[in-house]
Amino acid sequence: MEAVRAAVAAENAEILVIAARTEAEIAEIEDYEDRQMFLEEMGLKESGVVRLIQSAYKLLGLRTFFTAGADECRAWTIKAGDKAPRAAGVIHTDFERGFIRAEVIKYEDFVHYKTEAAVRAAGKMGIEGKDYVVQDGDIMHFLFNV
């Protein structure tokens, strides 16, 4: 393991240790609470698969933002540094072309307040323009005119 650490140190890289058997056991647990309990018992905060995905996104310079409506919630992938109109364009090119503004909820605020209405009532929903750099985990509603 030390030889591997030395080899990747010069490349400014990361090492991820993933136990295939443990990951297989985690994958078989369907209930979220049971999965979290299993991870805790194993002394883990998250699965190796989650760490692998996060590391890959970081290495590739990718970010995730979300859109949510009454009937669906979706995750979208963009490049780090992309601005709001480009993020809107990932959904549909017309959204980018006719971009007006974006309503943005920070992920942490949504977790804290639990609902979009509560975030709005607390004054935590931001109204952002064309120069807004989308942050990882932002929950966004785009206003556009085509």
The model's pLDDT over 53-74, given as tens digits with 9 standing for 90+, comes to 999 999 999 999 999 988 899 9
Q: Which domains does the chain have, with CATH numbers?
A: 2-59 (no CATH), 61-144 (3.10.20.30)
Structural tokens at position 26:
């985690």
Residue 33 CB: number of other CB atoms within 10 A?
8
Question: What gap in Å lies between CA 64 and CA 74, rounded to an integer?
Answer: 10
Percent of the chain residues past pLDDT 70, beyond the cut: 100
Question: Which residues have CB under 8 Å from 29's CB, separation 6+?
Answer: 35, 38
Q: Kindly tell me if the per-residue pLDDT of 3 is higher than 90.
A: no
Distance CA 44, CA 3 (A): 25
pLDDT value for 1: 76
Residue 107 above 90 pLDDT?
Answer: yes
Q: Tell me: the pLDDT tens digits for 110-128?
A: 999 999 999 999 999 999 9
Contact 73, 66 (CB under 8 A): yes
